[in-house]
């Protein structure tokens, strides 16, 4: 293989990660338009990358703003291989110490929403494409860079694209942890709505940022006149909270810690804390019942806690809860489940705890598993071991939801190390720039090999 000078690309790579992080590509359907189905900020990210790729001499196709595909002009004609990324990011929650879209670098860390999930990887694989161009590396297979725009929400982008695009022989998405994810737990999201008991002390409540994020803040209003009970309880628990009151209501703004819903144990759910205050500082019976049901991140309160040797443990996240002050509530919950369950079985079990409530399924994809013995997977693992020999080498099953759910023959491959802090979807999200050159080497070598393999 030709000797490649990776170092010469690193400064420009960092600058382009900053440029992309500075685009606040959060979904906004209220401002959707033709060619921008997920709002203007996401459309801006697509436009930025599309223009960049065209200036760099690549073939591009914008699929109505859902997906941008990029291919080298010297592309091969053999088997189709996709490198799948997304340009959208989750919304910004509380707790940021700086502008979440600054791309600021401090102590060799680049900060910003989407830096880890997944704009670092967006640019790493793009620069691998530039290296293939610069070094005129021949390709036997057809390599297609796929940049989606709705991965963090409903993946409507990929549902649209898969109707148009042929099935790849192999694909990977750099949207998780190394060494490699050969499968993913099932993912199920419900919106549950119903009536809140009139005799409850809880007047209204609003908390959370989305089903797939551990709630970082919540405001609860209680029909009470003793704010000191909430103040004392939060102080004893060490929970950041602000308490105000008038003659009729005690209003509590309580903080938590955001985390990805696939690892809810790494966060602190502000909605759960609000229910805890109502139940244990004020003795509200219904808040106590609800807390018992949905306050645990392992699903034990609903009787769905479980684990399998192949896929690990089920996780449960109460993402949002809104009580409107008129007795109607709506909540979003997220469940990542192993191969012990189907979504129908989970519904039957959870429904017994909310018999009068309405359930709307907003996301439902079963677990996936790819044969780890495939030549392409073995090639990825071999290259990873060569570049990062001190890291763990065993493939695993992920609790995340990536494009692997909608792209056939797709596995997760980085870009975070297995023991990296989990910062995706959290305040002050960051990436370490120290291993950027090694990551660029890895992805370039992997993509070149996939471009030349006879048997995938």
Q: Can you tell me the distance from the alpha carbon of 311 to that of 313, in angstroms, rounded to the nearest whole number?
A: 7
Q: What is the pLDDT of residue 327?
A: 92
List the structure tokens of 49: 């990358």
Q: What is the pLDDT of residue 215?
A: 94
Pick among 3.40.50.10320, 3.40.50.800, 3.40.630.10, 3.30.465.10: CATH of 7-185+368-451: 3.40.630.10
List the structure tokens of 330: 């709506």
Task: Using alpha carbons, list the distances in angstroms from residue 67 to 34, 287, 386, 436.
Answer: 13, 43, 33, 26
Q: What count of Cα atoms within 13 Å lies in the side-chain half-sphere of residue 371?
A: 6
Strand 142-148 and strand 186-195: pairing?
unpaired
DSSP string for 279-323? HHTS--HHHHHHHHHHS-TTSGGGT---EETTTEE-EEEEEEEEE
Contacts of residue 122, defined as CB under 8 A and 6 or more positions apart, other chains included, come to: 17, 20, 49, 85, 86, 87, 147
What is the rounded (10 degree) CA torsion for 134, 433, 18, 38?
A: 90
∠ CA 50-56-57, rounded to 5°? 95
Query: Domain map of the chain by residue range?
Result: 7-185+368-451, 187-365
Tell me how long the chain is: 456
SS3 call for 46: helix
Helix or strand run (H / E) with residue 217: strand 217-222
Task: Tell me 391's DSSP state.
Answer: S
pTM of this structure: 0.81
Q: What is the pLDDT of residue 20?
A: 98
The residue assigned the tokens 């090999």 is 449
Q: What is the pLDDT of residue 1?
A: 63
Task: Using alpha carbons, list the distances in angstroms from residue 120 to 61, 82, 128, 152, 277.
Answer: 22, 18, 13, 16, 40
123 phi/psi in degrees, rounded to 5: -80, -30
Pick among 3.20.20.100, 3.30.70.360, 2.60.40.1840, 2.40.30.170: CATH of 187-365: 3.30.70.360
List the structure tokens of 351: 């429904």
Which letter, b or e, does each residue of 146-158 get, where b requires 16 or more Cβ atoms within 10 Å of its Cβ?
bbbbbbbbebbbb
Q: What is the mean pLDDT of each run of 10 residues along the chain (456 residues)?
A: 92 98 97 96 98 98 98 96 97 89 96 97 98 97 98 93 96 94 94 96 94 92 94 96 91 92 92 97 96 96 94 95 93 96 97 96 91 94 95 87 92 92 89 97 98 95
Task: Tell me whether the omega of the peptide bond preceding residue 226 falls within 30 degrees of 0, making it cis.
Answer: no
Helix or strand run (H / E) with residue 251: strand 250-255
């Amino acid at each position: 293989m030709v000797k490649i000078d990776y170092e010469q690309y690193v400064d420009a790579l960092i600058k382009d990660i900053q440029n992309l992080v500075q685009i606040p590509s959060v979904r906004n359907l209220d401002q959707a338009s033709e060619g921008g189905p997920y709002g203007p900020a996401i459309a801006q990210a697509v436009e930025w990358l599309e223009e960049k790729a065209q200036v760099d001499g690549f073939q591009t196709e914008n699929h109505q703003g859902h997906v941008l595909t990029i291919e080298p002009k010297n592309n091969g004609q053999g088997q189709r291989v996709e490198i799948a990324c997304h340009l959208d990011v989750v919304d910004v929650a509380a707790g940021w110490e700086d502008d979440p879209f600054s791309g600021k670098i401090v102590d060799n860390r680049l900060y910003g929403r989407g830096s880890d999930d997944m704009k670092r990887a967006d640019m790493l694989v793009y620069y691998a494409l530039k290296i293939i161009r610069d070094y005129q590396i021949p390709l036997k297979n057809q390599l297609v860079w796929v940049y989606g725009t709705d991965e963090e929400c409903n993946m409507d982008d990929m549902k649209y694209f898969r109707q148009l695009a042929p099935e790849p022989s192999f694909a990977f998405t750099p949207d998780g942890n190394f060494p490699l994810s050969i499968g993913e737990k099932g993912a199920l999201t419900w919106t549950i709505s119903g009536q809140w008991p009139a005799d409850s002390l809880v007047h209204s409540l609003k908390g959370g940022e989305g089903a797939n994020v551990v709630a970082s803040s919540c405001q609860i209003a209680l029909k009470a006149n003793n704010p000191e009970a909430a103040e004392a309880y939060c102080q004893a628990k060490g929970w950041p909270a602000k308490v105000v009151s008038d003659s009729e209501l005690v209003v509590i703004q309580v903080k938590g810690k955001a985390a990805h819903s696939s690892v809810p144990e790494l966060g602190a759910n502000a909605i759960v804390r609000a229910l805890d205050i109502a139940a244990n500082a004020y003795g509200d019976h219904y808040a106590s019942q609800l807390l018992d049901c949905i306050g645990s991140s392992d699903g034990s309160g609903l009787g769905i806690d479980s684990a399998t040797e192949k896929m690990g443990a089920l996780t449960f996240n109460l993402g949002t809860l809104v009580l409107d002050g008129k007795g109607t509530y709506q909540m979003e919950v997220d469940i990542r489940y192993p191969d012990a369950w189907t979504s129908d079985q989970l519904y039957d079990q959870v429904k017994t705890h909310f018999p009068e409530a309405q359930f709307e399924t907003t996301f439902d994809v079963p677990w996936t598993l790819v044969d780890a013995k495939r030549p392409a997977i073995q090639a990825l693992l071999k290259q990873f071991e060569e570049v990062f020999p001190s890291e763990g080498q065993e493939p695993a099953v992920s609790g995340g939801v990536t494009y692997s759910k909608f792209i056939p023959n797709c596995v997760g491959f980085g870009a975070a190390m297995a023991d990296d802090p989990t910062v995706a979807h959290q305040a002050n999200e960051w990436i370490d720039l120290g291993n950027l050159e090694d990551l660029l080497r890895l992805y370039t070598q992997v993509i070149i090999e996939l471009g030349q393999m006879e048997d995938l």
